[in-house]
Amino acid sequence: MAKSSAGEPVKKKAPTWPELAAESEIKKGQWVRGRNYTEFVPCGLEWDAVSVRPLELGVDVLVAMRIGTRRGYAIVADHLRGVLYVLVPPGSGDLFADIPCVRVLGRGHQLLVPRSAQDSSPAADWVGTPGDVDKLVLVPADRLAARLQELAPAYEEAAA
């Protein structure tokens, strides 16, 4: 661990949501050479996926929610389509009704996700890196919906 000038341990600064969601050169290199094992997983059983497009809106919402990046929230970026998928408790879909730029994937849908926390691909990249993909930390649906209601209309207007 790094030490300060006074010899005390320096805590590494947590990455920001924009940093985690960026298509960095390191990620691109991993996608070309590395582990990019992904699989389709059914939605609506253990979680629903809130699809937010554009991806930048989703990132701005995470920043506005002030949720920490180290918690390991289950969030997947599809860089090819410009979509952020935020995993929330199942059955939360009604909270997102009539919010522009949002679609909820529940029962009957599947989401492409990385098989492990170390896997990543351009179409399925863990943004909130889970510590254990079998016990995902879900984003509070009510807080996510509230921030989306505040921020999404501006993105919808800009796209028009």
Task: Show pLDDT as tens, one digit a residue, over the chain (160 residues).
Answer: 556 566 666 677 889 999 999 998 888 888 888 778 899 999 999 999 999 999 999 999 999 999 999 899 999 999 999 999 999 999 999 999 999 999 999 999 999 999 988 888 999 999 987 777 778 899 999 999 999 999 999 988 887 7
Per-residue pLDDT at 113? 95
**Which has the closest alpha carbon to 86: 105, 114, 110?**
105
Q: How far apart are CA 112 and CA 76, in angstroms?
A: 9
Per-residue pLDDT at 41? 96
Instruction: Output the CA angle 17-158-86, nearest 5 degrees.
Output: 35
pTM of the model: 0.89
